[in-house]
Amino acid sequence: MGHSRASKADTHARLVAAAAARFKERGIDGISLADLMKELELTHGGFYKHFASRDELVTEALDLALAESGQVMRELLFDSDKPNIARFVDFYLSAAHAGGRTGGCAVAALAGDAPRKSADVQAQFRKQIERNLEILVEALRRGSSPAEGRATTAEARTTSAEARGTALLILSALYGALMMARAVGDSPLSREVLRTVRKRILDLSGAVPRRRASR
Amino acid sequence: MGHSRASKADTHARLVAAAAARFKERGIDGISLADLMKELELTHGGFYKHFASRDELVTEALDLALAESGQVMRELLFDSDKPNIARFVDFYLSAAHAGGRTGGCAVAALAGDAPRKSADVQAQFRKQIERNLEILVEALRRGSSPAEGRATTAEARTTSAEARGTALLILSALYGALMMARAVGDSPLSREVLRTVRKRILDLSGAVPRRRASR
Amino acid sequence: MGHSRASKADTHARLVAAAAARFKERGIDGISLADLMKELELTHGGFYKHFASRDELVTEALDLALAESGQVMRELLFDSDKPNIARFVDFYLSAAHAGGRTGGCAVAALAGDAPRKSADVQAQFRKQIERNLEILVEALRRGSSPAEGRATTAEARTTSAEARGTALLILSALYGALMMARAVGDSPLSREVLRTVRKRILDLSGAVPRRRASR
Amino acid sequence: MGHSRASKADTHARLVAAAAARFKERGIDGISLADLMKELELTHGGFYKHFASRDELVTEALDLALAESGQVMRELLFDSDKPNIARFVDFYLSAAHAGGRTGGCAVAALAGDAPRKSADVQAQFRKQIERNLEILVEALRRGSSPAEGRATTAEARTTSAEARGTALLILSALYGALMMARAVGDSPLSREVLRTVRKRILDLSGAVPRRRASR
DNA sequence: ACCTCCGGGACTCCCCGTTAGT
DNA sequence: ACTAACGGGGAGTCCCGGAGGT
């Protein structure tokens, strides 16, 4: 009875996880179903017991990969009392994170593929980037203004717009720096990009309240 | 039959140009040699008269595409007396530039493919990005300090490091914003990213002298 | 994508049939694999799932085409009680048969290519021509001597040799006339060849018993 | 001075002759210009000093090859006082003639290619076959009726039609037998075809006067 | 008359997604 | 779930006809 220890649901999940990792490494079209199945010590033919098509796997793997990127972001930012933007940026722009491609940020790894894919795929990116933005906005606001909870609605809105703008800039710079660093390979330039952008972003993130205060 | 008036060099150049455009649109692996040749009303059989391999075409097309991106940058920044950073940023983050993929920035379009390609390809990116950085640094320095020519060496070095850091941040943010906007497709989010990052970058670029002055 | 309802055997058979028709029309080297596949609404890439090489297809298509020519011969000659040589000759040398190339006789259409092909191809022609000869001999003998069943062995042998000689002449004349008619295109000459040779062959086929009787 | 002993006209003629021989061996498409030029110890590039295109060479070589076939026919039939049909048939259906392809009959060798070629090529065949027929008719008439020159116009016409019919049959059988023999390669069957058809044709050619006499 | 080589097109090989049969 | 293989399609290689330029 039964044929293997692994349940069908388990195999499905392992496939999605493996696909997410490989997609980040090699791009969405960079790995074949056959190679993917081989990784799980399965054979090519069994794939369609788990997914109706490759696209279905792409959708699920992308969901997982993008969600993970948000999860990592949230953990790094929020696992202490006060949002720790520095730790997040340090990690995000660390050489290890930039170099190793398996565990990296799915947005940075796959954003380049998205424009050539379907609107559904782009919607997945849109949704996750929106979420990541919210996380960062929240971190900026909590980091900058512990008393914000008591702000009036009008003040909060202004602050929010301000924070959202800052978050957008930071996110753009993070993604851009990571993609540049990866595109140029390991080199003095890539290290300079990571180090310098990291410092500037920390200035920016800290600058939010200060800049407001100074005006 | 036989060959037409067009010289070999001309055909070669047209192939490289077409490849550069298609690569930016669809990625380096996104177009086949046969389709590419068809664009020039040739057949794929003649391809190897011009290139020893597909990789050779990739190298040349990448060179062209990246160089063009630098050229555009230089023109937008420098075609008037005073470096015009605003015009460059406006153009770079315009919806048209972000949406249309044919004429866009090769770095933003292809940076995502580079990590999966050979070290040679990555070196091409490195070289061009280094050049683009220098252009932007020059613009920032000339824009910020018309009298810089008389600065002492020490001051100049400091200013240079400062400007280079700013340039790195700006470039990262530009590339990141463009890639994000493209990844999410045409949407309120993409428009917000482009608009907001544009404004912030203009603040940053203007901030160079002010920041120095304030210390 | 994926494969349609058609089984492999079916596709294989359709390929062979299409090749046989095209070879008769344009010669063995007159059609490319890509064009052939296009006829079945397939693409050239899948060809080697069905045949190890072009030669293998040639062999099978030739087998089919030649066998069909024998089958047509047999049907025309034998579908009534008494062998009907006249009907066969009439059809074989009809303008329609001579002009239209698709449905025509494979021997006449392809004999000219055979000498330039491999010994295997020539053996295929040999085998089928031998069979066609036997069919015609049988027709001549049954047509000429209804009581032949009671002939002594020696007489039968003599009759056989006689009939085989006549069959060889008839077959040569048929093939020769058809090839001449085709080589000169539609013209008074081609019509004269067909008409005249037809009449003479009918004389010859009827002459078998008469010639024997006269000795 | 001058560059070589061979004049341009001579080279032209040698090219045509070599092409005629190769075409008979391998078919009209069976030899490349490069190989042909190599045969004359010339190089590929010089070809277009002699012919505007390959087609022009084909036309001339075909003219030569076909004319030669008529010339051979005429010589064998007529080089003695009385037309010697037997000698012609013997030669034409000799194993050497059938096997060796270089010197063979152009009609038999190339008739199979003609239907796939232009109407001009087919017209060349038509013209030469018409001539060959006339030669054979003349031989049949002179062989059968030395006094024919004095026949009345009406009688001559009847005789002519009779002879032309016989000539058509003989020509068809000759061409057909030769093509069959070549198609099946060297074998008992090919030898049988040649031997048997030869004997039957000789019967037929001799039968002309006898058949007329018997009516 | 040569050399060179362009552009055309064919064949072969290989990989991928997908499906059928076991 | 595996084995097998179909059909799609890209890459690379070869050779041919033809067109310069020396």
First vs last C-alpha separation in chain D: 73
A83: left (phi over 0), alpha (psi -120 to 50) or beta: beta
For residue D145, pLDDT beyond 80: no
C112 DSSP assignment:
T
- Residue with more model confidence, A147 or D209: A147
CA distance B158 to chain A (A): 15
Chains with 3+ CB–CB pairs under 8 A to C are D
Binned at pLDDT 50, 70 and 90, residue C158 comes out as low
d(C-alpha C135, C-alpha C131), whole Å: 6
Check pLDDT > 60 for residue C209: no
Average pLDDT, integer, range A146-165:
66
Tell me whether residues A200 and B110 touch, CB distance under 8 A: no
How far is Cα B93 from Cα D75, in angstroms, rounded to an integer? 89
In chain B, positions 35-94 with C-beta closer than 7 Å to nucleic chain F are 35, 44-45, 47-48, 53-55
CB proximity D164 to C under 8 Å: yes
Mean pLDDT computed over A192-212: 77
DSSP-derived 3-state class of residue C100: coil
Q: Enter the DSSP assignment of C147.
A: T
> Which one, of B139, B160, B164, lies nearest residue B151 by Cα?
B160
Q: What are phi and psi of C204, to 5 degrees?
A: -65, -45
Q: What is the pLDDT of residue A102?
A: 67
Residue A126 — very low, low, confident or very high, per pLDDT cuts 50/70/90? very high
**Average per-residue pLDDT for chain C:** 85
Q: Report the candidate in B52, B60, B89 with the shortest Cα–Cα distance to residue B73.
A: B89
Is residue A211 scored above 90 in pLDDT?
Answer: no
Asked if D140 contacts D208 with a C-beta cutoff of 8 angstroms, the reply is: yes
Subunits next to A (3 or more Cβ pairs <8 Å) are B
Write out chain D residues lying below 8 Å of C129, CB-based. Answer: 180, 183-184, 189
Please tell me the distance in Å from D33's CA to the nearest CA on chain C: 18
CB contact under 8 A, C189 and D130: yes
Cβ contacts of residue A91 below 8 Å, gap of 6+? A76, A97
Distance from CA of B143 to the nearest CA of A (A): 20
CA distance C126 to D188: 10
Range with lowest mean pLDDT among C23-32, C88-97, D123-132, D203-212:
D203-212
d(CA D184, nearest CA chain C) in Å: 5
Residue C213 has pLDDT above 60, yes or no: no
* Of residues B26, B122, B189, nearest to A185 (C-beta): B122
Q: Is the Cβ–Cβ distance between D179 and C112 less than 8 Å?
A: yes
Query: Which residues 43-82 of chain D have a CB within 8 Å of chain C?
Result: none
Q: How many CA atoms lie within 13 A of B198 on its CB side?
A: 19
Instruction: Check pLDDT > 60 for residue A147.
Output: no
The rounded distance, in Å, linking the Cα atoms of C111 and C106 is 8
Closest CA to A197 of B182, B133, B127: B133
Sign of CA dihedral C117, D185, D133, D138: positive
With 70 as the cut, is the pLDDT of residue C30 above it? yes
Q: Do A179 and B29 touch (CB under 8 A)?
A: no
Question: Any idea which residue has 């005006």 for tokens?
Answer: A215
Helix runs in chain B, H state only: 8-26, 33-39, 54-78, 85-92, 95-99, 106-110, 119-144, 153-183, 188-214
Residue in B122, B164, B200 nearest the CB of A169: B200
Amino acid identity, position A104: G
Residues 6+ apart with CB under 8 A from D215: none
pLDDT at D152 over 50: yes
**Do the chains D and A touch each other, judged by at least 3 C-beta pairs below 8 angstroms?**
no
Tell me the three state secondary structure of residue B174.
helix
Give yes or no for a contact between A199 and B169, defined as CB atoms under 8 angstroms apart.
Answer: no
Q: Taking CB atoms and an 8 Å limit, are A26 and B116 in contact across chains?
A: yes
Least confident range from A61-75, A98-112, B114-128, C140-154: namely C140-154
How many whole angstroms separate alpha carbon C74 and alpha carbon C77?
5
Establish if C111 touches chain D: CB-CB under 8 angstroms.
yes
CA-to-C1' span, C39 to F1 (A): 37
DSSP B4: -
Tokens standing for A149?
Answer: 């909870």
The mean pLDDT of chain A is 85
CB distance from B32 to chain A under 8 Å? no
Q: Please determine, for residue C29, whether its predicted confidence score (pLDDT) is greater than 90.
A: yes
Q: Tell me the C-alpha distance between B132 and B168, whole Å.
A: 10
Distance, in Å, from the CA atom of A6 to the CA atom of C165, rounded to the nearest integer, reads 78
pLDDT at position A54 over 70: yes
The C-alpha atoms of residue D163 and residue D136 are separated, in whole angstroms, by: 9
pLDDT tens column, A68-89: 999 989 988 988 777 789 999 9
What pLDDT was estimated at residue B211?
Answer: 40
Q: Is C188 helix (H, G, I), strand (E, B) or coil?
A: helix
CA distance B60 to C104: 54
* Minimum-distance nucleotide, CA of D41 to C1': E1
> To the nearest whole number, what is the mean pLDDT of chain D?
84
C124: helix, strand or coil: helix
Position A8 scores a pLDDT of 76
pLDDT score for B161: 85
Neighbours of A150 (CB within 10 A): 9
pTM (predicted TM-score): 0.87
Average pLDDT over residues B52-66: 96
pLDDT, tens only, B80-111:
777 889 999 999 998 767 666 666 899 999 99
Q: Match 């943010």 to its residue by tokens.
A: B173
Amino acid present at C19: A
Which residues in chain C touch residue D175, judged by CB atoms under 8 angstroms apart? 176, 179-180
Tell me what pLDDT residue C88 has: 92
CA C62 to chain centre: 11
Say whether pLDDT at D80 is over 80: no
Q: Is the pLDDT of residue C151 over 70?
A: no
Q: What is the pLDDT of residues B172-209, one digit of tens each?
A: 999 999 999 999 999 999 999 999 999 999 988 864 44
Confidence at C5, pLDDT banded by 50, 70, 90 = low
Nearest CA in chain D to C178: D172
**pLDDT for residue B154 is more than 90:** no
Who contacts A58 (Cβ-Cβ below 8 Å, separation ≥6)?
A: A19, A23, A28, A121
Q: Which of A25, A62, A172, A175 to mutate to test the interface with B (most CBs of B within 10 A)?
A: A172
Query: Is residue C171 classed as helix, strand or coil in its secondary structure?
Result: helix
Report how far apart, in Å, the C-alpha atoms of B5 and of each of A29, B196, D40, D44 are: 40, 51, 31, 22
**CB–CB of B27 and A116 under 8 A?**
yes
Residues of chain D with C-beta less than 8 angstroms from the C-beta of C29: 29
* Cα(C54)–Cα(C23) distance, integer angstroms: 12
Query: DSSP H helical segments within D27-152, as ranges?
Result: 33-39, 54-78, 85-92, 95-99, 106-110, 119-144
pLDDT, tens digit, for every residue of B13-30?
A: 999 999 999 999 999 999
pLDDT-based confidence at C8, cuts 50/70/90?
A: confident
Q: Do D183 and C129 touch (CB under 8 A)?
A: yes
Instruction: Give the number of other CB atoms < 10 A from CB of residue C78.
Output: 16
- Give the pair of three-digit tokens for residue B14: 């047209």
Among candidate residues D64, D211, D205, D67, the one with its CA nearest the CA of residue D138? D205
B124 neighbors B113 (Cβ within 8 angstroms): no
DSSP A146-163: TTGGGS-HHHHHHHHHHH
